[in-house]
Chains A and B, each alone.
Chain A
Amino acid sequence: MPVKNFYAPTSLEEAAELLNSLHGESRPAAGCTDLMVQLAAPNAPETSLVSLRRVPGLADLREESDGSCFIGSLVRQSAVAQAPWIRRHFPALAKAAGLVGSPSIRNRATIGGNICNASPSADTAPPLLAYDAEALIWGLDGERTMPLQEFFLGPGRSALRRGEILKGLRLRRDSQKRANFEKLGQRKAMEIAIVNACASLCPGRDGTCFQVRIALGAVAPTPIRAPEAEAILEGKRIDYDLVMKAAAAAAAAVQPISDHRASAEYRRRMAGVLTARIISGLGNLPCTGVERWR
């Protein structure tokens, strides 16, 4: 493993300054479950690690007085999966975090690492997108906030600028919101998703639904939203035909690749199937028999 130096800064300032001055020669380190694998790859360039684990506040998990919730970058996936208020208010996120890797991976892997790694298949990305999460970014020039959707630029590429650190994620609590997450893989653990998906919506009194969000992973260069599919459902009463239309729109929205894990065609079709299943479930329709959506 080509690690030249190891730094353990104890403040955001110190961490940001290190990352700034060692730009191009250092990597921020959180749970290291992806980073160490990248560093062990043949021909990985030599780098220094700037561990964020001793920076205060990054592992905080708290409800703010304005009703929003803060999940620090360094919060472990097992803590995300188990935290009672995440399970209550953001169950789809808890479910996704609980499906990352294995128990011992989840004890190290962090939610911030999952996001900053910017893998198209990151399991916590679709629920965070579906819950309209915002990324809180800290840099030497100050703090900025952006919708998570804008954070992902491409495989392994995020909107973080030189010396910037993802401080955490902010989510708005909404007791009306219903959401679910689904992950398709060959195994029930230790899986990189073939496709993962999350949808959320607020049911209206008359059976219609609002604020529909559909987010998909492993089907494009970044985790994506499927706005056309959302628009089909927005303000409507969910029925079987509408679900099929939304699923077809979700499948049309993706730009998957073919690789040794799955073909583009299969990923596209499964994006539709998972969308149909989640929306059916949220609309209290039977989840099976979605094969006719095409």
Chain B
Amino acid sequence: MNTISLTLTVNGQRQSLAIRPDETLLKVLREDLGLTGTKEGCGSGECGACLVVLDGLTVNACLVPAAECDGSVVETIEGLAPGHGRLHPLQDAFVRHGAVQCGYCTPGALLAAKSLLEKDPKPTREMIKEGLSGNLCRCTGYKKMVDAVEGLAHGTAPPASEGESNVGRSCCRPDALEHVQGASIFGADVFRPNMVYGRILRSAHPHARIKSIDTREAEALAGVLAVVTGREVPEGYYGVDIKDQLVLARDKVRFRGEAVSAVAALSEQIAAQALELIHVDYEPLEPIFDAEAAMKSDAPLVHERLSEYVRGFRTETHGNVCTVARVQVGDVERGFAEADIMIEDNFSTQIQHQSSIETHAAVAEVEASGRITVWSTTQKPFAMRRYLHQSLQIPMSRLRVVATRIGGGFGGKLELNIEPYAVLLAQKCGLPVKIVYSRAEEFACTNPRHRAVFWVKSGMKKDGSLVARKVRLVYDTGAYSGNGPTTVTLSAQLWGGVYRVPNFLLEGYCVYTNKMNCGSMRGPSGPQTTFALESHTDNLAHRLGMDPLDFRLKNLLEAGEKSAVGQTLVDVDFKKVVCEAAEAIGWRTLPREKNVGRGMACMFWLSGGWATSVTVRVNEDGTVGIITGAVDMGTGYLYTSLPQLVAEELGLRAEEVHLASGDTDTTVYDHGIGGSRGVFTIGKAAQMAAVKVKEELFHEAAARLDVDPAQLEIKGSRIYLRTDPAVGLSFAEISFARHMQSGGPLACSANYLPEMDPIDETRVEGLSFSAFKGNTLACHAAVVEVDPDTGLVTVKRYVAAHDVGRVINPRAAEGQVEGGVSMGLGFALSESLKLGAEGQVLNPNFADYKIPTSLDVPETEAVLVEVPAAYGPHGAKGLGEPTMGPPAAVVANAIYDAVGVRLYRTPMTPEEVWRAIESARNRK
């Protein structure tokens, strides 16, 4: 291959380098010039993460052959700030407006915005959305990005972050300063000396026995350093609820895309070449793709040894069914006999993919001592260390997991995935090994949202009161159980958590098929269940001729009542949330327009628990830091809420509190981020640790001042006498003395594991856990317009009311709501991971897997309702997940209101809506 000499000017500096003809501008910037602020999201120009300015025009650097850039002028994110610690005004606006969440799309979006403002300094909102329409963002829902650009262009003051308080104040994220400058180190940005590259060979069959694997030819290829197969790996089965999976397939592959072998080589190209030289002799077996068909007794078995697997909960299993859940209240048949009206409905949902703009990435390095460090995009560094221990049988003391910045997680980066391959290859070749998933790989094997089918029958009285409900649900978990049993459990809780139904029977199944295994995507079971439950709820209301709002208000559970699983609901006010949503959209006063409709839907959710530990320390100079094993996947709770909660106790401002996180060697255990637990559980632990530190400060000060601690106040990094503020000691004085003279460092830890809520064990079978505390309700409402000729649905207005318990950071909370609604509308309208007849992904790219763009998302109005929870810090509840639950049902109900047709499947693409309208017309 030829070498080409290239001279280009990057951020004002002339660079001369020799490149290969197959290099892209993106590769040259990131790897040859070390400018990792330009990100790769898709490699095919469909996401905008690699947007740079080339000779004055924004381009996708992944699509530009570097050889073409000789003599060109390139501007990257690293060149945007004027230097000397100052930010470009757009960077500043992004930080102040809360336009940055995970930060992965931020560099590209900033350059797109800059280019837009250079062309038109006073753009309209619509023009700004158009200007950002090639920059996919999975976190923010775009609203705050548009606010930032508009605010800067039109000279409106950035939103205030002032005020005395910490709790309830929209303080800015300190990590956003790194993100806007392209300085954050994400997974793919980790480079180590002598690092080599790994690639994974994936099964070409959905279901086959592996007869033999011949790696000799691959090993002989120049530049190949290591090849591993399943036979060399300890037989360490792993899994969340059922231990049914191996890191590398041994005897059998169960989905197309399953890892069979891995290669480390000097370059990604050589590694890719080597994969083609590994010869796997497969004996194809009959695949099974449909979950309901897989439940039949004569269906091909995905797992022959299901009964032997270790399980973390009690359930019945048979055939391909790995969980049978049952919830029973009263006598459902007697209830139906008492009903005046009965309705039956069937619903189904699609596979939705998390589609973080950052793909999975990991680097593993083996030290001379044999200790292994893994840099990973994981949401759960400590659990990752445990998973690596379980699957590879390496003692945890020899493993260190360091979480990098995460470019969006949404549950996709919760479980073991890319990491063990990097470890195995690094162990075998002795050099640091980096693996970064391609976008296609991401779609093929990274635990998307379960497809689900529902059958529901409800009986009610003429006055609209529900008397009986029977539900059958089937979750297709794919080749491995992943998070399936937990998802079925959550679904059961959601079906029984919103409305009062005296007689209730639910049967839930989690079923293996030959698809990629499904995991936890933001609010597992939430969007699926809510689509079915809340569409059905509207059908019931319409049958009665009752306003869907009134029907809900009549049947909503109230505080003190029990959900179907027998959890007593406390600290909730469902009616208040529903009424606030209705009021915000103007439910009772919306004018009737042709083809325009309104819809609403509610979702019951929880605030995740699980164990955590947070340490708060006072440094010798009196400054304060937080140490936690938790990480932030982009939501910002770690960088805003935690410092706010600590500062509140210690009389500081949140901006003064420093944070260290996410390293299994230097921090203490946290379960991992997910399950809407960030503020509720980790925040609570931070608050508890701060209270302890405060007590110690008071104790030390009281001893030194010779007063009673009750006479003291804390503020401005000082402890002083309430009656005479001049008499006191600074944190620095107390801490320094403590370090040097008595008792050692001033640091306190708090462990926290919110206890699970009891449920009524006589009502349930086969659930994988009881119930979480911090229950909450979301109620969304929207106005949509349907084009009856094409089926195209346009969401014109959207309001989302959430019981957040107590708002810690309003702007961050709004950001969660706006981003969640965007993701929920993607589920509702356009996102679907499609599989072909051989189990292959038909749309493994962002052109055909359709995440909403800035032009597709409505301007969501977040309504934050406060019904404090006893267990959360200051009453706060979890918020991340429920934000994306209601949109599909809201849209379905609004479509019905607009054009009188009911959609029973997601996503409600134009073709689906058109078909429903057509069949209604044909029936007439």
> A residues near B, CB below 8 A?
1-6, 8, 29, 32-33, 36-37, 40, 48-49, 51, 53, 76, 78, 101-105, 107-108, 184, 186-190, 192, 194, 260-263, 266, 269-270, 273, 277, 288, 290-291
Contacts and interface: CB of A to CB of B under 8 A. Distances in A.
Given A51-B65, A103-B112, A187-B853, A291 B789 contact: yes
Q: Is the interface of B mostly helix, strand, loop or mixed?
A: loop
A32 B59 CA distance: 11
A6 B846 contact: no
A187 B856 contact: yes
Nearest to B830: A186
Interface of B: 1-2, 4, 21-22, 24, 43-46, 48, 51, 57-60, 62-65, 67-68, 70, 112, 115-116, 130-131, 133-136, 788-790, 792, 829-830, 834, 842-843, 846-848, 850, 852-856, 909-911, 914-915, 921
A53 B788 CA distance: 45
B22 A105 contact: no
A209 to B, nearest CB: 22
10 contacts: A5-B21, A103-B134, A104-B45, A186-B909, A187-B855, A190-B853, A192-B848, A260-B848, A277-B789, A288-B789
A36 B855 contact: no
Which 4 A/B pairs are nearest by Cβ-Cβ distance? A102-B134, A189-B133, A188-B855, A6-B67
B790 A2 contact: no
Contacts of B21: 3-6, 48-49
A275 to B, nearest CB: 12
Interface centre among B2, B68, B911, B914 (most CB of A within 10 A): B911
Nearest to A260: B842
B417 to A, nearest CB: 21
Contacts of B910: 184, 186, 194
Contact of B58 (A8, A37, A103, A188): A103
Contact of A104 (B4, B51, B846): B51
Contacts of A263: 911
A273 B910 CA distance: 13
A2 B45 CA distance: 18
A8 B909 contact: no
A143 to B, nearest CB: 26
B46 A6 contact: no
Contact of B790 (A4, A40, A190, A270): A270
A87 to B, nearest CB: 16
B830 A104 contact: no
A85 B309 CA distance: 71
A37 B440 CA distance: 12
Contacts of A186: 829-830, 850, 909-910
A190 B133 contact: yes
Given A103-B134, A188-B856, A1 B22 contact: yes
Interface centre among A5, A6, A288 (most CB of B within 10 A): A6
Contacts of B67: 6, 8, 49, 51
A249 to B, nearest CB: 17
Given A1-B22, A104-B112, A291-B788, A260 B64 contact: no
B28 to A, nearest CB: 13
B45 A107 contact: no
Contacts of B852: 187
A102 B62 contact: no
A189 B137 CA distance: 13
Interface centre among A190, A192, A260 (most CB of B within 10 A): A190
Contacts of A3: 21-22, 65
A103 B789 contact: no
A23 to B, nearest CB: 19
Contacts of A5: 2, 21
B880 to A, nearest CB: 25
A101 B45 contact: yes
Nearest to A39: B22
Contact of A49 (B1, B44, B65, B853): B65
A188 B790 contact: no
A184 to B, nearest CB: 6
Nearest to A40: B43
Contacts of B1: 4
A76 B58 CA distance: 12
Contacts of B131: 103
Contact of A184 (B792, B915, B921): B792
A49 B842 CA distance: 28
A188 B853 contact: yes
A256 B238 CA distance: 47
A194 B852 CA distance: 17
A32 B63 contact: yes
Contact of A192 (B60, B115, B847, B921): B847
Given A103-B112, A103-B131, A290-B789, A108 B853 contact: no
Contacts of A40: 43-44
Contacts of B130: 103, 189
A37 B42 CA distance: 10
A203 to B, nearest CB: 25
Contacts of A76: 57
Nearest to B440: A42
Given A6-B67, A33-B45, A107 B58 contact: yes
A107 B855 contact: no
Contacts of B115: 103
A190 B847 contact: yes
Contacts of B24: 1, 36
A187 B129 CA distance: 13
A187 B792 CA distance: 10
Contact of B64 (A32, A189, A277, A288): A32
A105 B70 CA distance: 20
A103 B848 CA distance: 18
B58 A6 contact: no
B911 A36 contact: no
Contact of A190 (B46, B788, B914, B921): B46
A104 B65 CA distance: 15
Contacts of A184: 790, 792, 910
A36 B65 CA distance: 8
Nearest to A289: B789
B63 A36 contact: yes
B22 A2 contact: yes
Contact of B60 (A105, A194, A277): A105
A2 B59 CA distance: 22
Given A49-B65, A273-B790, A102 B133 contact: yes
A260 B57 contact: no
Interface centre among A48, A104, A261 (most CB of B within 10 A): A104
Contacts of A48: 21
Nearest to B846: A190
B508 to A, nearest CB: 30
B629 to A, nearest CB: 38
B56 to A, nearest CB: 9
A266 B789 CA distance: 11
A37 B843 contact: no
Contact of A32 (B65, B789, B856, B911): B65
Contacts of B921: 291
A108 B789 contact: no
A269 B830 CA distance: 20
Contact of B789 (A37, A78, A188, A273): A273
Nearest to A269: B914
Given A40-B44, A184-B910, 14 more contacts: A3-B21, A3-B65, A6-B21, A29-B65, A102-B135, A103-B130, A105-B63, A186-B830, A187-B850, A189-B130, A192-B848, A260-B842, A266-B915, A273-B789
B68 A53 contact: yes
B48 A51 contact: no
B58 A104 contact: yes
Contact of A8 (B46, B57, B68): B68
Contacts of A277: 789
Contacts of B842: 260
B45 A189 contact: no
A95 to B, nearest CB: 13
Contacts of B790: 184, 270, 273
